[in-house]
Structure 1
Amino acid sequence: MHTASPPALGVAPARIDIGRAYQAQQKLTHDGAVVLTGCETSADALVAATAAVLGQRLRQVFPLRLRQSQDGKPVHLHADGFDVVVDVGGVQHRRRDPDEDYVVIQCVQTPSSGGDSFAADAYRFVDDCATADPELWEFLTQADVDLYGAWGGLRGLPATPRVGRHVEYTRTGRRIVRRTDGAAPLRRDPDIEHIQTMLDRFEKAVHDLEETLPRFQLTEGDILILDNYRCWHGREAHTGDRTVRILTLRSCDAR
């Protein structure tokens, strides 16, 4: 039995001018996503817009990433988060964190065609699983996995497995719903076959969900802010060159 994919799972972010930062903050809290318009296409504008919306809740900002793609393939629904610590002059610096709770995406260059974005409410997905697919719900809420085990050969990832569940809570009760292609069964887990079966089932359910979601476009300068604990995001394939800047961060509400 697989999860249903009702249209209610789709997130269509409101478009709000950067001059209305308080209203943008309210929509972000209510919907889990918002698109800021009227922004300059610069890295400084991205950081300033993020600070304007999150205000004093902003705690830790990770290095900006410029992502360029040519004739890009689809990017499936996912939540951001990565475990990367580097040594700079003998001092360890964290460049990515598994518990980043907001992701901010700035459109720098639109492709010739395609590349529309989509987002899903992961909270509703999990809640629906409780009745539509209880076995998947049990896996997501109770099974430990190696969150980045499938990427174990990548330089910079720590040797110690990052063990967690797809659904967890912060100490203040905020729910986290993870979705990554990097999840793998723990080494020598006695239930390894079942865990892999459920990972495959979860992936199929997410890919099926993508077909039902509304699409939206980001134009040059637009900034998409997502609650990374609540919303998954992705985009369609595109032709031509596409460039975005990505900022991930932790707020005072992060785990």
Structure 2
Amino acid sequence: MIVQRVPVLAPSARQTLHDAGAVILTGLPNSPDSLPVASALLFGTSLRELYPHRTRRSVDGGIVGLHADSFDVVVDIAGKPVRRRHPDEDHVLVLLASQAPYGGQSFVLDAHEFTDSLDAELKDFLTGTDVDLYGRWAQTRGLPATPRVGRHIEYTRTGRRITRRTDGVVPLHRDPDAERVTALLARFDAEVDRVQRTLPRIRLDEGELLVLDNYRCWHGRDAHTGSRTVHIQTVRTDNA
């Protein structure tokens, strides 16, 4: 998937994101403060929730495969439950703070188009089978003990499609169909790995900001040598 670069103040930035599902914004300071600024410019009054930004620094990092950003994290702050992440964050913003000396190129996939191209058995599985979306991470601090049950492809009450991708998926606890679900998850992973190898690579410049419709597009990055740093923020809009 080719992602278009657009100046952050250009009137076309919001429309490009809407039409293509992804856009690279230019012209912002190389600072994590640019994340909420870009969110406000892109989404305006439709912006509903802005989750805490996180900085990711990796040294000689391995490949990060195609995924949609989602996580279900609620923490206790002074006796009050506070949601730090949401399983259905509908947009993600990634600002490249420092580029690795070698590697680290990004790649993006239109997940709606990709999953529509799969064979009938896999499509039926993705749309018709409940799974535990984060069961593999059940012991991670902050994650709820209650399984997060959902399907890879679902629709919001307003008809917006969500195509999920997480490496935390497992069959439901004591699912009598667990063997078949595990086999189909493995087939799905193989198809994702196959298409990932064919995607065009995007080398972001430092300070550029990749914005994605998190319901429609998956993203990842290649392995790299040396240090690489990004700032990430997920948001929810009133379309979520």
TM-score, reference length from structure 2 = 0.99
Aligned to 1:43, the other structure's residue is in SS state coil
2:138: which partner in 1?
152
What CA deviation, in whole Å up to 9, does each residue of 1:126-158 have, x standing for no partner? Answer: 2112xxx11111100000000000111111110
2:100: which partner in 1?
111
- Find 1:187's aligned residue among 173, 176, 190: 173
Report how many aligned residue pairs link the two structures: 240
- Find 2:34's aligned residue among 32, 40, 45: 45
2:4: which partner in 1?
14
Partners in 2 of 1:43 and 1:232 — Cα distance?
Answer: 22
Q: Following TM superposition, by how much is the alpha carbon of 1:55 offset from its aligned partner in structure 2, in angstroms?
A: 1.2
Superposition pairs of residues 210-249 of structure 1, within 5 angstroms: 210-249=196-235
Instruction: Confirm or deny that 1:122 pairs with 2:111.
Output: yes
Q: Following TM superposition, by how much is the alpha carbon of 1:12 offset from its aligned partner in structure 2, in angstroms?
A: 1.3
Partners in 1 of 2:141 and 2:81 — Cα distance?
Answer: 15
What CA deviation, in whole Å up to 9, does each residue of 1:10-43 have, x standing for no partner? Answer: x2111011121x3110100000000001110112
Partners in 1 of 2:208 and 2:180 — Cα distance?
Answer: 42
What CA deviation, in whole Å up to 9, does each residue of 1:149-175 have, x standing for no partner? Answer: 011111111000000000000000000
Q: Following TM superposition, by how much is the alpha carbon of 1:47 offset from its aligned partner in structure 2, in angstroms?
A: 1.2
Identity between Structure 1 and Structure 2 (%): 55
1:253: which partner in 2?
239
Instruction: Confirm or deny that 1:26 pairs with 2:12.
Output: no
2:162: which partner in 1?
176
Partners in 1 of 2:9 and 2:72 — Cα distance?
Answer: 34
Runs of at least 5 residues in structure 1 that lack an aligned partner in the other structure: 1-10
- Find 1:197's aligned residue among 171, 183, 186: 183
Aligned to 1:181, the other structure's residue is in SS state coil
- Find 1:78's aligned residue among 67, 90, 99: 67
Aligned to 1:171, the other structure's residue is in SS state coil
Partners in 2 of 1:205 and 1:41 — Cα distance?
Answer: 36
Partners in 2 of 1:206 and 1:94 — Cα distance?
Answer: 30
Partners in 1 of 2:201 and 2:47 — Cα distance?
Answer: 29
1:7: which partner in 2?
none
Runs of at least 5 residues in structure 2 that lack an aligned partner in the other structure: none
Partners in 1 of 2:141 and 2:34 — Cα distance?
Answer: 31
Partners in 2 of 1:56 and 1:168 — Cα distance?
Answer: 25
1:134: which partner in 2?
120
Q: Following TM superposition, by how much is the alpha carbon of 1:205 offset from its aligned partner in structure 2, in angstroms?
A: 0.5
Aligned AA (2:81): Q
Aligned AA (1:244): V
Aligned AA (2:8): I
Partners in 1 of 2:38 and 2:165 — Cα distance?
Answer: 26
Aligned AA (1:90): G
